[in-house]
Amino acid sequence: MVRYLTAVFSALLIGWSVFPSAAQAQTVCGERKAIVASLEKTYSEAPVSMGLGSNGAIIEVFASPFRTFTIVLTRPNGLSCVMAAGENWEDLPKRLAGAKI
């Protein structure tokens, strides 16, 4: 699961660095507290997973019981940005690294 999430986040970050103008046009940034409050109030989303990037950024996934999700990146300087959002979020079963499927 960790490898899967790392691969997904890496692909997203590479995509945003290759196409910065498109990502910047759709990215909403601000104070983390305000973004989290808005996600909870508007979409009933709460944190379901998080990780620390090699650049020091914290990546969080928020999801709701209605299967919406949002990926938020918080930079070391404290600025938080909504990087992606969508529908049909699904939690995968947890398994140990190296375990066969």
Residue 98 lies in a domain: no
If you average pLDDT over residues 20-45, what whole number do you get? 81
Q: Is the pLDDT of residue 18 over 80?
A: no
| Pairwise CA distance, residues 18 & 14, whole Å | 6
- Indicate the pTM of the whole model: 0.69
- Residue 48 maps to which CATH number? 3.30.160
Residue 92 has a pLDDT of: 86
Give 46-83 pLDDT, tens digit per residue. 999 999 999 999 999 999 999 999 999 999 999 999 99
Residue 97 lies in a domain: no
9 pLDDT band (50/70/90 cuts)? low
User: Into how many domains does the chain fold?
Assistant: 1
Residue 15 lies in a domain: yes
Instruction: Tell me the C-alpha to C-alpha distance, in Å, between residue 10 and each of 3, 35, 51, 101.
Output: 10, 22, 12, 23
Residue 101 lies in a domain: no
